[in-house]
Structure 1
C-alpha cells in the first residue's frame, strides 16, 4: 500500500523538486529552478514513493491567509496514473489544511484534470491563467470543516475565553484550529502579527505559544471535569526560523508531562507543555511552559 510522506531532509527535497521539474516544467523547456518558488519554506509538502524508493507523486499546500490555502504542484508519474495516488496526496494535504485552520482551499487545474478534482469535491469557479501561452487553467475551490465535531463546542469555548479575558488574543485573532483529545492546533492572523520583514513578530510567536500551552491545560481540566485557575509559572522559547506565513501553534500528548488529576487530591497541579510554532511543515520555534493549576474555590 502506498503511503504519503513529507520530505524530511535535503536529500528528500532534492528528489522531490527534481520530480516536480521533470513532470511540470521540463516538458515545456523550462529551466531547473523554475519548479521552486518563494513560498516553499512556509508550505506543506507531500510525496509518494514506489517500492524502489522512487518518487511517483507530489503535491504542495500553502496558506494564503489565516483560513485559506492553495494547492499547487500536483503531479503523478504517467506510469502510475489511474491508481488513486493523486487522491491520496490531495486527502493528505486536506487533512493538514484542517489542522492548520483552513476553511477554504483553492487550486488552478489544467483542463484535463477538471473531472479529477470535481470528483474530490472541488467546484469550478472560473477560467484563470494560461501557462506558457498554451495550458489553460481553471480556478477551483473547496470548503473544509476545520473542527472535530465532538470537540467543536469545547474549542469554541476556549477561543471565547481567550478573547474575553486576554485582549491580545483577540487582536491576534487567536483561534483553535483542531482538537481531538490527542492533538491541538491553533492559528493567528499574520496581517496583525507580522514585523517589518513580513514574517511573524517574535512577541506574537511567544504569545501564541503561551496561549496554546494554556489551552492544552484548559482542555485537560475540561476533559477530567475539573476546575482550576491556570497560570504560567515558567517558560523558555527557542526561535529556530522565521514564520513566513500565518502562525500555527501545535502540541500533543507526547509533548506534555504532568498529572492534572492531582488537582482534586492536593488542590494543585503542575503541567509541562512543549509547543511548536509551525511555518508550513517546519518547526520555526519551540516553547516549553510550566503551568501551575490551582483548584477553584467554592
Structure 2
C-alpha cells in the first residue's frame, strides 16, 4: 500500500522533474550531462503492467534527450525489483538512445547493502544492474532561503529527509530542526495554496509535538502564516462561509464586515504590527467590504498600520 514515505518524494519529482538529477549529482556525486530542462516520461513499461515510480528524461535546448533517470522509492526488500528495474532502464535507453541511471532511495544502509549483495550474486544474468542507492541521511539540508525559493522541490525533499529521525533514520538534533524553518517557509511560498497546505501538513506530521508548536509559531510570524491550516486560517475560512450564507441579507453583511474587521486586527496583532487608536476605529467603522478585503490582503506584508489603510 502506498505510504507518505513513498509518495511524498514522488510528488516532489512531479513538482520538479529535475530533482532526481540533483540527487544524482549533488547527493551521489555522479558526473551528469548538461541539460536545459527535464520532463517526466510515462512510467508505465509496456506491454506488461510494470510501472516505475518516476522516469525522467533530461533534454538540451534543442529538445534532444541527453540523459535519463529511473527514480525509485524502495521501502522494503524485493527480489522482483531486480527484474523490473532492468525493464525500466532498458525501456528508457532503447526509447531515447541515452544511458539511463537508476537512483534509488532506501530507508537504511542495511537495505542498500542487501540489494548490492543480491545484484552481485546475479553472475549469470545477461543484464546487470548498477543502481545508485542513497538514504535520507545522505541528503544535505538546504538552509539558504534563496536556494529554497529557487528550487522549492529540492529544498522540501532535502529538509523532509532530515525531519523525522525515527521514520527516516536521520540523526538531527532537536535544535537543528529549527534552522530549517526559514528555508522551508521560503520553499512553501513558491507553491500554489493547495500544495502549500499539503506540505505544511507533511512537515508538521514528521515533527514531534514540541517542534510542531515551534513550527506553527514560526509560520505565524511570516506573511504566509494565515494561508496555512492554523486556527487563524480556519477562522478566515469560517468567515468566508458565513459571508456566503449571509449574502443578500443586510444584517448578515454588516456582521460579516464587522467580523472581517476583527480578523484583520487579530492578524495585525499576531504579526506584531502596532495599530493606533484612530486606525483601529477606522477599520472597525468601515462599511465597504471591498475596502476591507483590500486592507486584509495588505495586512499580510505591511509593516505599519498606515500602510494598510493608505489611500489608493
TM-score by length of 2: 0.28
Which protein has the larger Cα radius of gyration, Structure 1 or Structure 2? 2
Larger fraction in strand: 1
> Bigger relative contact order, structure 1 or 2, given CA contacts below 8 A and separation 6+?
1
